[in-house]
Chain A
């Protein structure tokens, strides 16, 4: 009997000892394959959370051609991805301190509101309903896009570069479902009083396959996407791709794309906005990643922007040379555009709204003063 009691006591003692030793060092749960803390541990500032983590969590698409795509090594690259890297360079001084989180278009706003990401740079169109929605705020426009249509003259001989929506009567139009493009083309056809057959597929590459096979006369999506598809087909030596017509010349919708942040954190809003503006201003003055160290003090405005008079950046909570790091590590707006859109996709900046304001475009940053 005494032996039995001893066993019971041993068990109880073990439990008591465990409680005692455990209280001091409660360990947080970590799962096996990632141990990243949520974007914001407390209700506090995003800047503090990012700096404490040492990494920016950036919501991207991962499958948007030219904007954020996944390369053969699994790295995220593209126009949007470079803006994530620019923000990381400004906040942490290291453009590579970014954790890219690929999001579907359905999840993206929830992820931002749930603090799962710090900033959303996922070719998202700035609209009234999204901007005024609780919890979201659009920062700036980094790319002015617009919906256009593409036709194969072999199937629709009447279409040329000067055609408008009024000329597509009776055509079969394909696009991907569940996006604003679907709504825009339906509205456009209604306004122009033409009847079209709208066919929707789940992803845009499938619409292109139908277009190639001839079961779609016309495909429609953002102009950047159409130019990318056409230049890729030309590069691959596809027959007849040179004659594919993209029309109408002025897009049927406005699609201003840009980063989105959570509402209610003005400091973080300013940081993201001025990181974008810094790339605009550097582009305006011809400051590139190659010559930024020589040109940083060439004019008073550049000197202020790149940390010559420290308080402009330090009052935002950044280090004085934050924007110098952005330009040196990522490049100015023109470089980002050239590297991701003009180079691989032959998407020309000239003649688009994405030129600087003095060249007839809409890229315009307030002065750094």
Chain B
């Protein structure tokens, strides 16, 4: 009897805590009098703010036509219209690489319907809220509320009607994202945007479909991205994942110079000179380099290897004193660097052969880039520079970040080094650069550099800005990375020493990767700051995105006057900046999660 009672007691389900909307409200918003008052006040503030913002945005007097009419100006400024395919191609390179990476690294996975349902219900609730508080007409409110209700019902169905299946991962996240982007593309083809029109003495705003030159490329990019994803997925299926990931990383690295090339150069190639000078140079350096590096790696353990590397370095440095082609100087520098790295990475057998292939590949890349760069460019733009608008902002940010990473790493290593001369030099650099505002460095680069330059050498405005920003950013990165280096325990170093690693090996394989992983959030913060800092280049008359939105468009008078549009263009600029930085911080959160930063 007693046993029976016990078993019955065991079968009782635990009592559910009280739940439901009323309980949720009481627990979260109206715990006591004070929190109730605060909740009411906050909701009122939100309602007033949203209502005010919507009333401002949808006021027919807002000159949103200033944004749509000047879209090309804000994006690429004076970039010639018949060369715009270069910009689209660059965007495609990035989109294709992103899609391929999503496929290879299997990002996204599958989400549970109840979670997706909750997101849909949130979106629906927000839309209904907007409809309720908005100052729209009844039909406008109905449209927003209808869309909101649709989302809400879909979300509610997903949450409640699927039963147990709602808790199983069923919905592919990437699929949802694709559908969302697809909806944006559909909107491109259906939405009408404000456009200025002259009617007698007055300027009026009419609503026009979006131009074909915007719709078609974006549609192609959308499908191009899907095709790239599927193609890589199929391709990667039967192959070694590690090798594919490595080659994709390589492609990301290569994409940087490629995009810069696509955007800036249309080389009018001189074939004759290619055959008589560049091809022989490439073959000569490849063959000689092959023998030299073989010799160095065979003598890696004794003095001769180091002597050869030293002679090469001296030759490379002295080559800058004597007049000669830049190509030779670059190649000598590269060969010296390879010779110095050979004892660390070369070894024997397959590693040695890999190094030799890498040398031939690098020599080819250098020869090809110098050849293409020194040819006359066929892109002709009105105005001083190819770059302006959002394109300039992005190019400045990417160049400044990418180029400052090596400086930052070197300076951080220098500052933590045991050699006093390196430590002194990098300390002076870091403290000097960080002690002076970026605006000052920009002005120095623009006003004082031309005086210091030798005759006949001119740097374009963009190059000067990139130089100043790289210089500045490098110091900040160095301090961030130094923080990471100091967080590595001495035990790591001692262990690598015990394994017989050289200093270079220990740094490259043990300390640096851990240091960078530890300071990843700080590095991402630095990248976002750099992206926003690019707007300072207006001080030296470069027309970046913000400058165009803030000054250039409000001062237009021909063919349309956009005076008084400054509030609209500034809000648009703020939105675009936010889109980029928000996307970036989300991306870095994902990477951090994947690397497990903060979990140990």
Chain A interfacial positions (CB closer than 8 Å to B)? 3-4, 7-8, 10-12, 14-15, 18-19, 21-23, 25-38, 41, 62-66, 69-78, 99-104, 107, 110, 114, 116, 203, 205-206, 208-209, 212, 228-229, 231-233, 235-238, 340, 343-345
Residue pair A237, B202 in contact (C-beta under 8 Å): yes
Q: Among the listed B265, B540, B551, B556, which residue makes an inter-chain contact with A32, where contact means beta carbons less than 8 Å apart? A: B265
| Distance A14 CA – B287 CA, assembled complex (angstroms) | 11
Minimal beta-carbon separation of B177 from chain A (angstroms):
33
Minimal beta-carbon separation of A295 from chain B (angstroms):
28
Residue pair A228, B557 in contact (C-beta under 8 Å): yes
Residue pair A33, B77 in contact (C-beta under 8 Å): no
Residue pair A205, B332 in contact (C-beta under 8 Å): no
Q: Among the listed A36, A238, A345, which residue makes an inter-chain contact with B564, where contact means beta carbons less than 8 Å apart? A: A238
Which stretch, B26-34, B184-192, B238-246, B370-378, touches the partner chain A? B370-378
Minimal beta-carbon separation of A226 from chain B (angstroms):
11
Count CB-based A-B contacts (< 8 Å). Answer: 220
Which stretch, B343-351, B426-434, B446-454, touches the partner chain A? B446-454
| Distance A341 CA – B69 CA, assembled complex (angstroms) | 21
Q: Digit string of B545-563 for contact with A (CB within 8 Å is 1, else 0)? A: 0001011101111110101
Residue pair B555, A209 in contact (C-beta under 8 Å): no
Residue pair A232, B73 in contact (C-beta under 8 Å): no
Residue of B nearest to A20 (CB): B324
| B457: A residues at CB distance < 8 A | 28-29
Residue pair B552, A38 in contact (C-beta under 8 Å): no
Residue pair B557, A114 in contact (C-beta under 8 Å): no
Residue pair B70, A72 in contact (C-beta under 8 Å): yes
Chain B interfacial positions (CB closer than 8 Å to A)? 61, 63, 69-70, 72-73, 76-79, 81, 201-204, 260, 264-265, 284-285, 288, 291-292, 295, 299, 304, 308, 311-312, 315, 319, 322-326, 328, 332, 373-374, 376-377, 381-388, 446-447, 450-451, 455-460, 462-463, 539-541, 543, 548, 550-552, 554-559, 561, 563-564, 566-567
Residue pair B555, A63 in contact (C-beta under 8 Å): yes
Q: Among the listed B264, B332, B550, which residue makes an inter-chain contact with A33, where contact means beta carbons less than 8 Å apart? A: B264
Residue pair B382, A75 in contact (C-beta under 8 Å): yes
| Distance A99 CA – B381 CA, assembled complex (angstroms) | 9
Residue of B nearest to A203 (CB): B551
Residue pair A18, B325 in contact (C-beta under 8 Å): yes
Residue pair B463, A73 in contact (C-beta under 8 Å): no
Residue pair A232, B561 in contact (C-beta under 8 Å): yes
| Distance A344 CA – B561 CA, assembled complex (angstroms) | 7
Residue pair A33, B387 in contact (C-beta under 8 Å): yes
Residue pair A14, B552 in contact (C-beta under 8 Å): no
| B381: A residues at CB distance < 8 A | 74
Contacts A75-B78, A107-B447 known; 10 new A-B pairs at CB < 8 A: A32-B264, A32-B460, A32-B463, A33-B460, A70-B543, A76-B382, A114-B451, A237-B202, A340-B558, A344-B559
| B201: A residues at CB distance < 8 A | 235
| B73: A residues at CB distance < 8 A | 70-74
Can you list 8 pairs linking A and B with CB atoms under 8 Å apart? A10-B292, A19-B322, A23-B322, A29-B457, A32-B260, A62-B541, A103-B541, A104-B539
Residue pair B383, A33 in contact (C-beta under 8 Å): no
| Distance A233 CA – B554 CA, assembled complex (angstroms) | 12
Residue pair B63, A70 in contact (C-beta under 8 Å): no
**Known A11-B308, A62-B552, A116-B450: A23·B460 in contact at CB below 8 Å:** no
Q: Among the listed B72, B383, B387, which residue makes an inter-chain contact with A76, where contact means beta carbons less than 8 Å apart? A: B383
| B72: A residues at CB distance < 8 A | 72-74
Residue of A nearest to B387 (CB): A33
| B203: A residues at CB distance < 8 A | 235-237
